[in-house]
Amino acid sequence: MLEEHFAIEDTIGDSEAFGFDDWKDLNRRLLDLDDERIGEMDENGIEFAIQSLNAPAIQAILSTDEAIEVSRKANDVLAEAVARHPTRYAGFAALPMQDPDAAAKELTRCVKELGFVGALVNGYSQRDVEDSVLFYDTPEYRSFWATVNELDVPFYLHPRAPIAARAQHFSGHPWFIAPAWGFAVETSIHALRIMASGLFDEMPDLKMIIGHMGERIPFDIWRVDHRIKKAPLGIPAKKPLRYYLQNNFHITTSGNFSDAPMQCAITEIGLDRMLFSVDYPFENTIDGTGWFDNANLSEEDRLKIGRTNAIKLFNLDLK
């Protein structure tokens, strides 16, 4: 599993804002990185999980200095948990993307000193003012991406909800603004922006991950390319966006336990780029494993998505 979340006291309140009915239970599970989490893994046949910080967490901290401080604190907490359970956990770095150079420095520390296997960033970042949005396709992030490329680790683009001041289309419908629909809206446009920016032409070996069966992109990628071909409007990307989806992206099953979107994603990117995930504790592990164990897959394909693809992508030392 590789979209599985924890929180520290500095970030736990961000998850409460999603409006879950069972917040007391969710709070406890987010803060736990030991017995309860591993017990649920054992009960549901999960061998290994890559843990990451909850959302939006670092990305919603307006002060760059505070974002740097809290990301380092969260990464140290996770590193301690990985050290306690080295055969069960690996870590994704939380990064202060408000400062690309600081983010590159923290990722380097996490990979080279803490042994983390990549980064998970919760969508766009805010900096200095509440109504601000930093997307990572812009030129100021090229040096950061060069570090990701040099370290040769995957970057997981995880969702966050849109800023309220920019979300008029959700007005009167709060049930859509976060996981149900807003997450996919924000993540899909961010991923498409990165594809369109020419980043993967400059760094063709970059590896990115998106969750929830691809945040709706696999269903519509043909039409995206079809319309851009008719009206390219100076798009920097040298290839169709579908090419980058198929060569630079991996997709997880996190929080989308349904055969139809999985088959769509497999058709678009190939079986070898699919990865099983649950989205714990926002989803129940038994729901994810119960679906996956009975999904319309051959046992060989189930093993790839559930285990061997991740071992290869993250160079995991699992027997």
Q: Which positions are annotated as active-site residues?
A: 279
Cβ proximity of 297 and 305 under 8 Å: yes
Q: Which one, of 298, 282, 284, lies nearest residue 27 by Cα? A: 282
Sign of CA dihedral 146, 148, 152, 155: negative
What is the C-alpha separation between 58 and 126, in angstroms, rounded? Answer: 9
Q: Which one, of 119, 261, 144, lies nearest residue 194 by Cα? A: 144
